[in-house]
């Protein structure tokens, strides 16, 4: 442990439940390096997703696919996925190989590399640049083709807070169906931190579609 109050974990650190690890990631420093420069984020909000078919909200619930394969591999690696046709989100893989649990990085504050993050995301205060899982990957410059990378090796880097800040828990954001709601209170965020995303309940396209009635012939 360094005098700065941060320490670099071993891969073994991640070989346990995502629910156990998620709160320990609050306040951690995540580094990502590209040709354009380096951005350092301070994690303010995460969500845990479990494997072994125990979590209906998890991508791994129905077993291994081409997309979620990294979740089933080595803990301490990065699972990056593409969603909604345009967004990229990043997770840290947890638990022993074959378990497929992970922690979604939902929000962070930009600590270093502010000009670079602003070049990617537009002018905004550091607290807003990475507030949201897809915003976070854009601000840090994390790309889909980095899926499966080691979170503890270049171009990534991770330093955990020796004393993680006080966190709160609640239902996961945007998770519909059985995996959502109070039954799975696996969202963790830093109490009172402005760089935490806004809670939105899950929405379904079907509900929207019903709002557009077919043309009447009356």
Q: Which residues bind DNA (CB under 7 A)?
A: 47, 49, 57-60, 62, 65-68, 71, 79, 81-87, 89, 91, 102, 104, 121, 132-136, 172-177, 197, 200, 202-206, 208-209, 211-212
Q: Give the span between the Cα atoms of 61 and 132, in whole angstroms.
A: 23
Smallest gap from Cβ 44 to DNA, in A, equals 13
Nearer to DNA, 46 or 161 (CB): 46
Nearer to DNA, 29 or 81 (CB): 81
Smallest gap from Cβ 67 to DNA, in A, equals 4
Q: Is 127 in a helix, a strand, or coil?
A: helix
Nearer to DNA, 160 or 184 (CB): 184
Give the residues across from 123 on adjacent strands: none
Give the residues across from 40 on adjacent strands: 31, 112
Smallest gap from Cβ 160 to DNA, in A, equals 20
The region that residue 60 occupies, defined by phi over 0 for left and psi between -120 and 50 for alpha, beta otherwise, is: alpha
Smallest gap from Cβ 41 to DNA, in A, equals 13
Nearer to DNA, 3 or 84 (CB): 84
Q: What are the CB-based long-range contacts (under 8 Å, 24+) for 166-172? A: 166/190, 166/191, 167/23, 167/26, 167/191, 169/23, 170/199, 171/199, 172/47, 172/57
């Amino acid at each position: 442990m360094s005098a700065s109050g941060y320490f670099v974990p071993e891969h073994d650190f991640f070989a346990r439940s995502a629910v156990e690890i998620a709160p320990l990631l609050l306040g951690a420093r995540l580094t990502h390096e590209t040709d354009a420069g380096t951005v350092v984020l301070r994690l303010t909000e995460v969500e845990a997703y479990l494997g072994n078919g125990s979590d209906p909200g998890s991508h791994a619930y129905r077993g291994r696919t081409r997309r979620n394969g990294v979740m089933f591999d080595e803990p301490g690696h990065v699972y990056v996925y593409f969603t909604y046709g345009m967004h990229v989100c990043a997770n840290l893989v947890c638990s022993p190989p074959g378990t497929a649990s992970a922690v979604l990085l939902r929000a962070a504050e930009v600590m270093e590399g502010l000009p670079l993050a602003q070049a990617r995301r537009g002018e905004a205060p550091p607290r807003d640049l990475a507030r949201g899982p897809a915003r976070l990957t854009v601000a840090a410059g994390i790309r889909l083709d980095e899926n499966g990378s080691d979170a503890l090796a270049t171009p990534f880097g991770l330093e955990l807070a020796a004393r993680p800040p006080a966190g709160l828990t609640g239902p996961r954001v945007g998770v519909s169906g059985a995996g959502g709601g109070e039954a799975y209170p696996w969202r963790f965020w830093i109490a009172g931190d402005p760089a935490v995303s806004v809670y939105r309940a899950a929405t379904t396209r079907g509900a929207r579609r019903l709002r557009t009635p077919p043309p009447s012939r009356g």
